Amino acid sequence: MALTEINFDGLIGPSHNYAGLSLGNLASAKNAGNVSQPRAAALQGIEKMRANVRLGLVQGVFLPQRRPDTGWLARLGATPEDASLALLANALSASSMWAANAATVSPAADTEDGRCHLTVANLLTMPHRSHEWPETLEQLRLAFSDESAFAVHEPVPPPFGDEGAANFMRIAPSHGEPGIEIFVYGKTGGAFPARQHEEASRAVARLHRLEPDRTMFVEQSKAAVSGGAFHNDVVAVANENVLFCHGQAFANRDGFFAELRRAAPYAEIIEVPATRVPLEDAVSSYLFNAQLVTLPAGGMALILPTEAQDNPRVWGWLEEMLVGNGPIRQLIPVDVRQSMANGGGPACLRLRVLCDPSYVDPRFLVDEGKLDAMAETVAEYWPEEIDAGHLADAALWKEIRAARTALCETMGLPELI
C-alpha cells in the first residue's frame, strides 16, 4: 500500500458566523458580533484547495454539517424556535469546517495491525463543538469504509477532552516509513481552558495500537495556552522529518527536543525564537497554523495565511530562513481571511490523512472540475452575509438548509451524512 498525503479540508458552511463562542480563541473573541460572509469564506476555502491541487497534492473535502442542529437542541428540550439566542448560536456554529479537529489519524506504517486508524474527536470543552462528533463520525465511516485499510473509532468518552489532530504531530524519515507520533496536551492556560487532556491523548494512542517506544506525550506550555494558542497547531507544525515550532511552544522544551532526537536522529528542528518573533505575533499571524507539505517535485513548502505576510517580523524571519537553505524552500500565502477572523488558519481547515487514495470513497476526493462545481453551488446558494445578531431568523435557517442540500446533490453524497 503506497502511503500518500491527502489533505481533507472542511468546506466552510453556509451558517458561518461570528458569534464569538470559542473561549481562548483571541480572533474569535475580537470579531464577535461582526457580520460574516459565508459565500466569500467558502470560496476562499475552495481556492485554497485548488491551489493544493495545482501543486500536485492530493486533496479531499468534508461537507458542512446540518445546521441548525435540531437533534442536539431536542436533547436539550429545545427547538430553533424557542431556544435562547445563545443556545441557538451554538446549534448554528459552522466550526466543523476546521477539519484539523475532526479526528486524530495514525497511518498504517505506525500501527500494529497495519491499518490507518482514525479516532473522531469529542470536542467536549466547547458547547458549540461538542455536538459535531456524530456527523463527523458518519462522514469518516463513509469516506474510510474499507475495513481492510482503515479502522474508524468512536470518540474518547468524557470527561477527557480530545480536540483531534490539531494537537498531534508525526516525525518520520518519509511519509511511508514508521514514524514517531507526538501527542501534545495542555494543563492550564490561566484564564483560558487547556482543551487537550493527557488521558485523551493516551487513550487515542492505545486505540490506534501504537508502539510505546515510538509514541511521545508532550505538554504544551502555559504561556502558549494563555497567549491564545488554544491548540498546539497554533505554535507548531511537523512534516516528515521536520518540526517547525515557536520557542515557547512546549512546557519542557529541552527535554522534549532531547527525547525526540534520541527517538528520531533524523529529525530536523526549526525553532523560531521569541526574541525574533514574539508569541503574540506568532498567534496573531498564525505563522505555525500552516500546512507544511512535501511537494511532488521534492522539497517542502509552507502554505500559510496572508496575515503572516502582513507581519514584518514574521515575514522577515521566514525570508531569512529561506536564505539559510533549510528544508523549507517555498512560502505560499493563501487568503482565508474569513476563517482567520474566527480563529482558524490553513492548518485548521485540513485533516492530513496518510493512506492509499484508492481505498478512499472517491466522492470525498476533489479535482479542478469538482471544485468548479462546488464553487458554482456556493455562489448560488450560500448566504452572502450573516449578522450574528440575527441568527433567530427562520428564513436564514431555511437558506442554510437549502444550501447544504444543494451541495450534497453536487457531490453525489447522501444528505443525511
SS3 sequence of the chain: CCCEEEEEEECCCCCCCCCCCCCCCHHHHHCCCCEECHHHHHHHHHHHHHHHHHCCCEEEEECCCCCCCHHHHHHCCCCCCCCCHHHHHHHHCCHHHCHHHCEEEECHHHECCCCEEEEECCCCCCHHHHCCHHHHHHHHHHHCCCCCCEEEECCCCCCCCCCHHHHEEEECCCCCCCCEEEEEECCCECCECCCCCHHHHHHHHHHCCECHHHEEEEEECHHHHHCCCCCHHHCEEEECCEEEEECCCECCHHHHHHHHHHHCCCCEEEEECCCCCCHHHHHHHCCCCCEEEECCCCCEEEEEEHHHHHCHHHHHHHHHHHHCCCCEEEEEEECCHHHHCCCCCCCCCEEEEEECHHHCCHHHEECHHHHHHHHHHHHHHCCCCEEHHHCCCHHHHHHHHHHHHHHHHHHCCCCCC
Alpha-carbon Rg of the chain, whole angstroms?
20
- Contact partners, residue 310, CB within 8 Å, separation at least 6: 285
Could you give the percent of the chain with pLDDT greater than 70?
97
CA distance 14 to 379: 11
Q: What is the mean pLDDT of residues 292-311?
A: 96
- Active-site residue, selected from the candidate residues 197, 246, 307, 348: 348
Read off the pLDDT of residues 378-389 as tens digits, 9 standing for 90 and up.
999 999 999 988
Average pLDDT on 50-59 reads 98
At 105-149, the pLDDT tens digits run: 999 999 999 999 999 999 999 999 999 999 999 999 999 999 999
Asked about 175 being catalytic, the answer comes back as: no
pLDDT greater at residue 275 or residue 187: 275
pLDDT at 1 over 80: no
Q: What is the pLDDT of residues 232-249, one digit of tens each?
A: 999 999 999 999 999 999
Residue 228 has pLDDT above 70, yes or no: yes
Given a cut of 70, is residue 22 above it in pLDDT?
Answer: no
Q: Name the pLDDT band for 24 (thresholds 50, 70, 90).
A: low
Indicate which residue of 163, 181, 240, 307 is catalytic: 163
Q: Tell me the CA distances in angstroms from 389 to 36, 41, 216, 285, one per residue in order.
A: 11, 19, 44, 28
List the beta bridge partners of residue 238: 243
Residue 27 — pLDDT band, cuts 50, 70, 90? low
Task: Give residue 26's pLDDT band: very low, low, confident or very high (50, 70, 90).
Answer: low
C-alpha cell recorded at residue 337: 481571511
Q: What percent of the chain stands above pLDDT 90?
A: 89
Look at residue 32 in the predicted model and tell me its pLDDT.
73
**Nearest CA among 102, 60, 80 for reference residue 15:** 80
245: annotated active-site residue = no
Q: Is the pLDDT of residue 29 over 80?
A: no
CA distance 8 to 108: 18
- Select from 280, 316, 351 the least CA-distant residue to 116: 351
Which pLDDT band, with edges at 50, 70 and 90, does 28 fall under? low
Note if 208 is an active site residue.
no
Q: What is the pLDDT of residue 21?
A: 80
> Above 80 in pLDDT, residue 286?
yes
Q: Which candidate, 379, 348, 343, places its Cα nearest to that of 14?
A: 379
Whether the pLDDT of residue 343 is over 90: the answer is: no
Q: What is the mean pLDDT of residues 310-333?
A: 94
190: left (phi over 0), alpha (psi -120 to 50) or beta: left
Mean pLDDT, all residues of the chain: 95
Q: 154-191, pLDDT tens digit by residue?
A: 999 999 999 999 999 999 999 999 999 999 999 876 77
Walk me through the domains of the chain, giving residue ranges and CATH numbers.
Answer: 4-411 (3.75.10.20)
Helices 38-54 and 368-381: crossing angle in degrees, nearest 10, is 170
> Residue 212 — pLDDT band, cuts 50, 70, 90?
very high
| Cβ neighbours around 389 below 10 Å, total | 12
How far apart are the C-alpha atoms of 276 and 238, rounded to whole Å?
Answer: 20
> Catalytic one among 128, 131, 175, 231?
231
- What is the band of 273 on the pLDDT scale with cuts at 50, 70, 90? very high
What cell was used for 412?
A: 453525489
